[in-house]
Amino acid sequence: MPVLQKKTMLLLPGLLIVGALLIVPIVWLLGLSFVSEGRLSLEHYQRIFDDPTYVKSFAITFQIAGTVTGLTILLGYPLCFWMLRLKPLWRGVALTCILIPFWTSLLVRSYAWLILLQRRGLVNTWLQGLGLANEPLALMYNVTGTVIGMTHILLPFLVLPLFASMQRIDGDLMRAAAALGATPLFAFWRVFFPLSLPGLTAGGLLVFVLSIGYYVTPQLLGGGTTVMAGQLIQRNVELFSSWGAASAVSVVLLGIVLLLFWVMNRLVPLDRVFGG
């Protein structure tokens, strides 16, 4: 092994703290997940597949993450496409509007939705005022509330990488397609959309992967009924002190998360996804 360069010493403090507080605990949890009553066992993993509570929790986690990803794409793609046509000043304004929620605390944003979605809240008042609902709808303390809040919170994570990748698409290609007789829709579908796919996939994967590990928003807006995988971990630790169960769920969740990050990294380098 070559002697470590002096420069790599600069990495040590960072690696040390991440190693001690992230890698070591994860290895610890990994070990713990295979032990039951002092013996090696797969019991904790078995439970994830057998116990209806666990199966249901993982199912709802993927269901919510999928819905949130779909909604952010539905809202984010047209937004990005529209922003490309804006003059630099208005594009700056639009980007600031996207960054404002990005900067604001997750807890504050979940709280905002808690006020907006309550029975006598603003959204219900508007829906009834517009005649879209006859009586206050149950918009929170259920899956609906969780999905609305998470879509709002995660939308910037789709928009920022997607917009950055759309900006790199050469506009001349669309003009060339038009010059060759393609209708705008055809040019979009055959030229622009395929070129935007890597950015869209990376952004979508990022939203999905962040969604499946969510805790705060489902806990506040989901009420007691929507138990996502993150809440399953917390409950096992805080209510039942069953570390084995909590660690097995953590390991499965983390495995999925890291796998998806790995796939994402193949499509678009991580620093581009996070760097915006």
Partner 1 sequence: MEANHGSSGFASLLLAVLGIAVLVFLVMPIFIVVPMSFSATRFLSFPPTALSTRWYLEFFGSPEWTRAAWVSLQIAFVTCLLATPIGIAAAYGIHTASGKFSRAAYTVLMMPLMVPHIIVAVGIFFIYARIGANNTIVGIIVAHTMLAVPFVLITSLSGLQGFDMTQERAAQSLGANRLEAFLKVTAPQIKGSIIASALFAFVSSLDEVVVSLFLSGGASSTLPKRMFVALRDEVDPTIAAISSMLIIASLAIGLAAMIATRKRA
Which of the residues 55 through 84 are near partner 1 (CB under 8 A)? 75-76, 78-79, 81-84
How far is it, in rounded angstroms, from Cα 157 to Cα 237? 30
Q: Among the candidate windows 41-49, 52-60, 128-136, 231-239, which touches partner 1 by CB under 8 A?
A: 231-239
CB atoms within 10 A of CB 252: 18
By CB under 8 A, tell whether 26 contacts partner 1.
yes
Q: Which is nearer to partner 1, 55 or 179 (CB)?
A: 179
Q: What minimum distance in Å lies between the beta carbon of 41 and partner 1?
A: 19
Inter-residue contact 150 to 213 (CB < 8 Å): no
By CB under 8 A, tell whether 101 contacts partner 1.
yes
Helices then strands, counting H and E runs in the chain, come out as 15, 2
By CB under 8 A, tell whether 158 contacts partner 1.
no
Inter-residue contact 228 to 64 (CB < 8 Å): yes
Q: Among the candidate windows 17-25, 40-48, 51-59, 127-135, which touches partner 1 by CB under 8 A?
A: 17-25
By CB under 8 A, tell whether 259 contacts partner 1.
no
Q: Among the candidate windows 34-42, 46-54, 127-135, 215-223, which touches partner 1 by CB under 8 A?
A: 215-223
Q: Which is nearer to partner 1, 59 or 259 (CB)?
A: 259
Q: Which is nearer to partner 1, 5 or 134 (CB)?
A: 5
By CB under 8 A, tell whether 29 contacts partner 1.
yes
Q: What minimum distance in Å lies between the beta carbon of 44 and partner 1?
A: 14
Q: Which of 35, 41, 67, 94 binds partner 1 (CB under 8 A)?
A: 94
DSSP track, 63-81: HHHHHHHHHHHHHHHHHHH
Q: Which of 48, 220, 245, 268 binds partner 1 (CB under 8 A)?
A: 220
Q: What minimum distance in Å lies between the beta carbon of 105 and partner 1?
A: 4
DSSP track, 127-191: HHHTTS-SS----SSSHHHHHHHHHHHHHHHHHHHHHHHHHTS-HHHHHHHHHTT--HHHHIIII
Report helix, strand and coil shares of the chain as percent, to nearest 5.
80, 0, 20
